[in-house]
Structure 1
Amino acid sequence: MMMDILMYLFEAYIYSDIELKVDQEALESELLQAGFHEKDIDKVLDWLGELAALQKSDAYSAILTSSETSARIYTDKEIQRINLESRGFLLFLEQIKVLTTETREMVIDRVMGLEASDFELEDLKWIVLMVLFNVPGNENSYILLEDLLCAKDKGLFH
């Protein structure tokens, strides 16, 4: 259910001309009117707050100094949530410079922060878009990924 609310918000506010700065009460009211449950709305707002907090955190400073040839080793818990196809997609995005090591870790953090039992590649793509959109300085990566995903949908990308 969290993914449904996140996708609703992303489509409603990112792909429209609606002002992005909405107060939390108005947003909660809108989501309730759209048919979402208050408990799920609270979880999503917390999830978005944690995404914002990641940007201000220095938790990823050690990652920034890692070697370009280093490899990401996933924990057992991450492997259970993020399947092989999705991990391959994250690696691909790093290789084509859409994701940095820092944004990759933010994506993984937000995936692990979801309460979703059936997380799939399509869900991961949304999370990556949300992270790139919300982290300043990643506008070009966001546009590149969006173009890449649109090209794939049109059959232009193999």
Structure 2
Amino acid sequence: MFEVLVFVYENYWRGDACPEPEQLGRKLSAHGFDPDEIRDALQWLDGLSLATQGVQVARDADGTSGTVTLRGTGEAALPQSASAMRVYSSAEQDHLGAECLGFISFLETAGVLTGGLREIVIERAMAAPGDPVALDELKIIVLMVHWSTGIEPDALVLDELCEGREGRTAH
């Protein structure tokens, strides 16, 4: 399924440029993807579309934070309190694993994920196969959430999400 999602991300840079599911399914099939993987990816993308349907994120000038508004209403969603703490359920801890939970925390601290986007990432990760979800797969999920909401991550974030750990030197 994740290979299909990467293909969609690479070929349709913005979520609104992606064709309808039936046409997308035919294109994916023509590129040789397995029918089961296509079905799973289309179902996952449908869930992503529903999760991000009313969400619009406007980044502040410094790029480190953003305002979440509800599309069509112009109303800002309530921001997360600075003293708020996300408590993960046992099911979330089991399915995401320590490495993915740590990465989500890192993205929040870096200002890449707002509280609302974090919840969409977690919801979509919970809908993904794997126990626990692999970190590389979570990175694809984060990319797809950004893709679906029309947010273009900055170059350093994109590098972190796209590059593997192999060949990196710790400083």
Q: TM class by shorter-chain length?
A: 0.7 to 0.9
For residue 39 of structure 2, what is the amino acid of its counterpart?
D
Q: CA deviation at 1:35?
A: 2.9
Structure ranking higher in strand proportion: 2
| In 2, Cα distance between equivalents of 1:147 and 1:4 | 18
The share of aligned pairs that are identical, in percent, is 32
Q: Kindly report which structure 2 residues correspond to 1:34-49, keeping only aligned pairs within 5 A, or say none.
A: 34-49=31-46
Look up the match of 1:90: 104
Q: CA deviation at 1:31?
A: 1.6
Local SS of the residue matching 1:14? coil
Asked whether the equivalents of residues 98 and 144 of structure 1 are also in contact (C-alpha less than 8 Å), the reply is no
| In 2, Cα distance between equivalents of 1:4 and 1:152 | 15
Asked whether the equivalents of residues 98 and 142 of structure 1 are also in contact (C-alpha less than 8 Å), the reply is no
Q: CA deviation at 1:123?
A: 0.9
Q: CA deviation at 1:107?
A: 0.5
Asked whether the equivalents of residues 129 and 145 of structure 1 are also in contact (C-alpha less than 8 Å), the reply is no
Look up the match of 1:11: 10
Q: CA deviation at 1:69?
A: 2.0
Look up the match of 2:157: 145
| In 1, Cα distance between equivalents of 2:98 and 2:2 | 20
Asked whether the equivalents of residues 13 and 20 of structure 1 are also in contact (C-alpha less than 8 Å), the reply is yes
Distance 1:151 1:30, change over 3 A: closer
Normalised to the residue count of structure 2, the TM-score between the two structures is 0.71
Aligned length: 150
- Deviation by residue 1:41-95 (Cα, 9 ceiling, x = unmatched): 222112112211112358x99x844312222111111111111111111101101
Look up the match of 1:27: 24
For residue 133 of structure 1, what is the amino acid of its counterpart?
W
5+ residue gaps, structure 2: 56-67, 71-76
Distance 1:44 1:152, change over 3 A: closer
1:78 aligns with 2:92: yes
Local SS of the residue matching 1:97? coil
RMSD: 3.1
Structure ranking higher in helix proportion: 1
Local SS of the residue matching 1:83? helix
1:111 aligns with 2:108: no
Q: CA deviation at 1:9?
A: 1.8
1:124 aligns with 2:138: yes
